[in-house]
Amino acid sequence: MPCLRLSLENKGASSTRNCSMGNRGIGPQNCDAAFIASFVREQGGGKREIHAENGSDRDSSAARRKNFILESLPSRELVIQEVRGDFEGSFALLPSYIQELKSGDAETCLQLLYQDEGHFTVFSGHSGAAIRAFRSTAGRLLVWMVRTFLTGKFRGCLLTASCIDGNNCILPLAWAVVEGENRYSWQWFLEQLRDGVVGDRDSSRANTVLTIVSDRQKGLIDAVSDVFPDAAHGYCIYHLSTNLPHAPKNTPAWRRFWAAARAYTVAEFNEHMEKMKELNPEQYKYVVKLPRHRWATHCFLGRRYSMLTSNCAETINSVIRHLKGLPITYLVEETRKKTACYFYQRKNNGKNITSVVTPYAEKILGSSRETFRFYTLNPSTDVLFQVIAADRTDVVDLSKKTCSCKRWDIDGIPCNHAMAAISFRLRDPYDFVEDWFMTSTYRATYNDCVPPTRGKEQWPAIPSNVVPPRPPNVRIQPGRRKSVMSSSSCLGDISFKTTSRFLRSALFP
């Protein structure tokens, strides 16, 4: 028998009350899965706003909290069906949902593929606002690829592509829900990304080489080579470091590997690699077998802007971790809501920036200003300088915006040596920062918006010639799905404590 325990707390007082459903008492003797679902629907129903404070959810307007524990899988799934719809019916809503999204933004790209029998295969999308931001203003052709395994009834995999703006914040670009991760799903997703988002590159920009960063996912390496043959594909250094043989974190050899990956020049790279060889020959042999142009900064074919890891994409995973158990239509809708929130918040943040460049670039320039005061400068021409520091000597060319330390060339923001030359010439350092770090570019990136959607009862009707997709033709494993302990969450004035994160993610994304 499903078990439900309900307790009421009222700011210093505790009492027992009956629910409004016919004043029916709640307890194991008269509570089944259907009653729990209907009770949640009546009491919560998404009528109140959900706030988060200190990592836990609360209802700021409620004077009391109702806590109960759901301990049966049927109860959880019926609650999800009441609030978010059932998994099977969610696939049938996709054609109608696509029409709703396109009615708000005609440039939004959506693709839905069926199998011959009508079973769902792939659903992908690109927000029109993200497309326009990336093509016209984002500038940095740097994209992260990552996959997330879904935990809903039909499992599957969510593929995502994201980039960063001029303030080093994440900008989601595209997503795809696929049956599984393999070369063919990655290749199809990359083709949609190429045709719908990346498009033709502006040859007038300083950088026209697309850079893709990922860990070495199954099938992704070959798919990138097929779809973007001229792209620079870099590996996540963190994933490489975890694969080093017998390499606990923060060992001397482990630190030398990271230092070699960050090195801007060949001399620095070779120095760190030789030290690593002395410290741990086994790890050194593993590293030298890796293609150097995939991970070493000094010889990388594109521009990574010192972004050595795929933390950007993994952050997207962290944001959507509570959405992985949702039915597909609601998974995509909640993802759209988060993207819309990003655009709105950053548009407002851009209005409050007072400097010429973004806070990220301003912080780097400020650090350089504090350092170059101790350098000795020997000018050769008005644009060519020798800069002597305590530990090295470099050459700066202001006309080409280069420095022999390679930091300015790779990151796009003047290094310490360049700042010394710029100061000597009494020039404005902002004139030497690449344009996608400018506040004007940042504001233009988020000048657009992601349109809202109506409730599903107002979505356009499915055309008569369109057959709604059926759920994927996959075998659902019997038994209880994997669950872990989760903190409490609330819907309205009801707070749930459940033994499954699955319920929490499905009800309260």
Q: Are residues 102 and 195 both part of a single domain?
A: yes
Of 397, 430, 445, the last residue of a domain is: 445
Q: Please tell me the distance from the alpha carbon of residue 270 to that of residue 263, in angstroms, as a whole number.
A: 9
Same domain, 193 and 102: yes
Domain end point (choices 445, 466, 500): 445
Range from 33-37, 367-371, 487-491 carrying the lowest mean pLDDT: 487-491
232-236, 465-469, 478-482: least confident range: 478-482
Q: Is residue 387 exposed (0-12), middle (13-18) or buried (19+ Cβ within 10 Å)?
A: buried
Contact predicate 197/190, CB 8 Å: no
Overall domain count for the chain: 2
Contact, 174 vs 125, CB < 8 A? yes
- On whether both 226 and 92 belong to a single domain, the answer is yes
Range of the domain at 192: 87-236+310-350
In a domain? residue 296: no
**Residues across the chain:** 509
- pLDDT, tens only, 268-320: 999 999 999 999 999 999 999 999 999 999 999 888 888 888 877 677 777 77
- Whether residue 216 is contained in a domain is answered as yes
* Contact (CB, 8 A) for 38 and 492: no
Banded pLDDT at 139 (limits 50, 70, 90): low
Collapse the DSSP code of 112 into the 3-class scheme (helix H, G, I; strand E, B; otherwise coil) and give the result.
strand
Q: Is residue 451 part of a domain?
A: no
Burial code (b: 16+ CB inside 10 Å, e: under 16) for 347-377 equals: bebbeebeebbbbbbbebbeebeeebeebeb
Q: Are residues 317 and 436 in the same domain?
A: no
User: Over 90: is that where the pLDDT of 32 sits?
Assistant: no
Rounded CA gap, 459 and 479, in Å? 36
> Are 97 and 207 in the same domain?
yes
pLDDT of 315 reads 76
> How distant, in Å, are the alpha carbons of 393, 415, 416 from that of 390?
8, 16, 13
Residue 54 has which token pair? 């200190």
Are 314 and 427 contained in the same domain?
no
For residue 277, count CB atoms less than 10 angstroms from its CB and return exposed for 0-12, middle for 13-18, buried for 19 or more: middle
pLDDT confidence tier of residue 58, bands split at 50, 70 and 90: very low
pLDDT of 73 over the 80 cut: no
On whether both 326 and 436 belong to a single domain, the answer is: no
Looking at the fold, whether 427 and 341 belong to one and the same domain comes out as: no
Establish if 104 belongs to a structural domain. Answer: yes
**Residue 244 confidence class, pLDDT cut points 50, 70, 90:** confident
pLDDT mean across residues, the chain = 78
- What are the pLDDT digits (tens) for 322-347? 888 888 998 899 889 989 999 999 99
State pTM to two decimals: 0.77
Check if the beta carbon of residue 94 is closer than 8 Å to that of residue 85: no
Encoding tokens for residue 28? 């194991």
Assigned domain for 99 exists: yes
Q: Kind and range of the H or E element at 67? A: strand 65-70
200 and 150 within one domain: yes
Instruction: Please count the CA atoms within 13 angstroms of the CA of 222 that sit on its side-chain side.
Output: 6
